[in-house]
Amino acid sequence: MTVDDQEVFRSAARAVVDATPGFESAGEPASGEEALRLVEDAQPELVLVDVRMPGLGGVETARELNARHPELVVVLVSLDDPPADPGPEPIPFARKQDFGPRLLRALWAAHGSRRRR
């Protein structure tokens, strides 16, 4: 699942996910609030969350997703540097400009073990 208020990144992320063997898109909410509603039905394993979004921001969305669904792999994404205060539990971070099949597989390899617990 890709959560981003910018259609251009959601579309690019969908193309990367669909082009990466073993991955498929589980939805593209345009806000944190929408993501919290849709995650119940979509049941994604990996959620990419833009750091900067109007309304419920990315860090808050990621924290709430982790609290409600600890089995999810939630990754913050941004063109900028990682957030200065990730909170008590660090949230994985990836730069949008580096996002591609190799990074997607690396994120899953590094953090996907949470799903297998």
Domain count of the chain?
1
CA distance 34 to 29: 6
**Token reading at 82:** 């990682």
Indicate which CATH number applies to the domain containing 98: 3.40.50.2300
Q: Which domain holds residue 77?
A: 2-116
Q: Going residue by residue through the chain (117 aa), what tens digit of pLDDT does each one get?
A: 999 999 999 999 999 999 999 999 999 999 999 999 999 999 999 999 999 999 999 999 999 999 999 999 999 999 988 877 656 778 899 999 999 999 999 999 998 865 544
Encode the chain in three state secondary structure.
CEECCCHHHHHHHHHHHHHCCCCCCCCCCCCHHHHHHHHHHHCCCEEEEECCCCCCCHHHHHHHHHHHCCCCEEEEEECCCCCCCCCCCCCCEEEHHHCCHHHHHHHHHHHHHHHHC
